[in-house]
Amino acid sequence: MAYLQLDNIQKSFGDTHVIKGVNLEIDKGEFIVFVGPSGCGKSTLLRLIAGLEPITSGKLSLDGKDITHTPSGKRDLAMVFQSYALYPHMSVYDNMSFALKLAKVSKEVIKTKVDHAAKTLNLTQYLSRTPKELSGGQRQRVAIGRAIVRAPKVFLFDEPLSNLDAALRGNTRVEIHKLHRALGATSIYVTHDQVEAMTLADRVVVLRDGLIEQVGTPMELYDRPANQFVAQFIGMPSMNMVEAKAIPSFSALTGGRLPTDGFLGVRPEGLRVHHGQGTGAPARVELIEALGADTLIHIDVGGVALVARQNDRTDLQAGDAVYVELDPSVLHFFNREGRTVAA
């Protein structure tokens, strides 16, 4: 039996149906990431698990116990919020120990737990400071530390890095990954950032309009998307989509596997752009994005805009006439409804 199980979870606000029947099984020790566009229901689903919002219908079980209607404070879960939610007048030590004090835990046990969490998060030297004396990344670590000392059954993270700048976000993401490995805790993490999803998750849950589109490891979603939505949501830049009849030379490479009214999908690294006469479709360079380690080449192929990625630098310039070829081993096929068609 799954450690945390969601059975047909639904949530409505009045006549608005937000979560439309979610079924999910999470094993003990897994790091699960909910990802999807704004408004897809990922934060609402997390709040339902946390008990911050009542479940309209369905069943939520944790470690074999039905917690569907259990109050939030008794679910043995700990949540880390986007806004840190620290008490500004309290020291780091007091913020981290506050929940334990409310639970009447002895001072000796509190000190042991706080000191251990602070050491794990490199916060020992900051225990006497107040939140205003800390950087954004340090504040987020305090919020995580406050969750750690409670030793919950499940950690819940609601977009914890979205308030940090890009460099700090990357560093903190690595710290969260290391922390998960060290604690072996069950974690559910909500983000709109697919880089976080791909690098942190054991499994990714892709949501759209209150429903699960696909669940799988990051590479399963990247290599074998269930539909056009997942294919274009996972991966940056997103997968190129070409209508079946838009570029005849591309369609010819599919050997009849592409539905005549469907779509051909190819990731940017599956395109090769080169100068001069040769095989492939004629195209024109629209834009070059030189990113250092990677180069993105935006091209126009008979009115169809595509993006190619290559690992080396290029001497191509905007306006150059080029040819583009496909790697036939990495093509994806979708029907008119956007569902994946077996290759």
Residue 232 lies inside a defined structural domain of this protein = no
Domain boundary (227, 259, 276) is at 227
With contact defined as beta carbons under 8 Å apart, do 170 and 137 qualify?
no
Q: Is the pLDDT of residue 328 over 90?
A: no
Q: pLDDT by residue (tens digit) across 247-290?
A: 988 888 888 888 989 999 999 999 999 887 667 899 999 999 99
For residues 84 and 203, state if they share a domain: yes
With contact defined as beta carbons under 8 Å apart, do 269 and 296 qualify?
no
For residues 107 and 53, state if they share a domain: yes
Q: Is the pLDDT of residue 172 over 90?
A: no
Residue 258: CATH number of its domain: 2.40.50.140
For residues 176 and 273, state if they share a domain: no
Instruction: Kindly report the backbone phi and psi dihedral angles of residue 274, in degrees, each rounded to the nearest multiple of 5, phi listed first.
Output: -145, 160
Q: What angle do CA 138, 143, 149 make, to 5 degrees?
A: 115
For residues 200 and 99, state if they share a domain: yes
- At 93 the pLDDT is 95
Crossing angle of helices 92-102 and 107-120, rounded to 10°? 130
Residue 112 lies inside a defined structural domain of this protein = yes
For residues 123 and 223, state if they share a domain: yes
Residue 213: CATH number of its domain: 3.40.50.300
What is the percentage of the chain residues whose pLDDT exceeds 90?
65
Would you state the structure tokens that stand for residue 322, as one six-digit string? 């080029």
- DSSP codes, 159-208: STTTTS-HHHHHHHHHHHHHHHHHH--EEEEEES-HHHHHHH-SEEEEEE
Round to whole Å and give the CA distance between 16 and 52.
18
Domain boundary (198, 227, 256) is at 227
With contact defined as beta carbons under 8 Å apart, do 53 and 44 qualify?
yes
Domain that holds residue 273: 237-334
Check residue 124 and report its DSSP letter.
G
Indicate the range of 90-94, 174-178, 314-318, 338-342 predicted with least confidence.
Answer: 174-178
Domain boundary (201, 227, 253) is at 227
For residues 323 and 216, state if they share a domain: no
As for how many domains the chain has, the answer is 2
- At 278 the pLDDT is 66
Residue 341 lies inside a defined structural domain of this protein = no
Residue 89 lies inside a defined structural domain of this protein = yes
Would you state the structure tokens that stand for residue 138, as one six-digit string? 């340090």
Residue 339 lies inside a defined structural domain of this protein = no
Q: Region 289-306: what's the mean pLDDT?
A: 94
Residue 77 lies inside a defined structural domain of this protein = yes
Q: pLDDT by residue (tens digit) across 194-252?
A: 889 999 999 999 999 999 999 999 999 999 999 999 999 999 899 999 999 999 888 88
Q: pLDDT by residue (tens digit) across 25-84?
A: 999 999 999 999 999 999 999 999 999 999 999 999 999 999 999 999 899 998 888 777
Check residue 340 and report its DSSP letter.
B
Helix residue ranges, H only, the chain:
42-50, 92-102, 107-120, 136-148, 166-183, 194-200, 218-223, 228-233, 248-252
pTM: 0.89
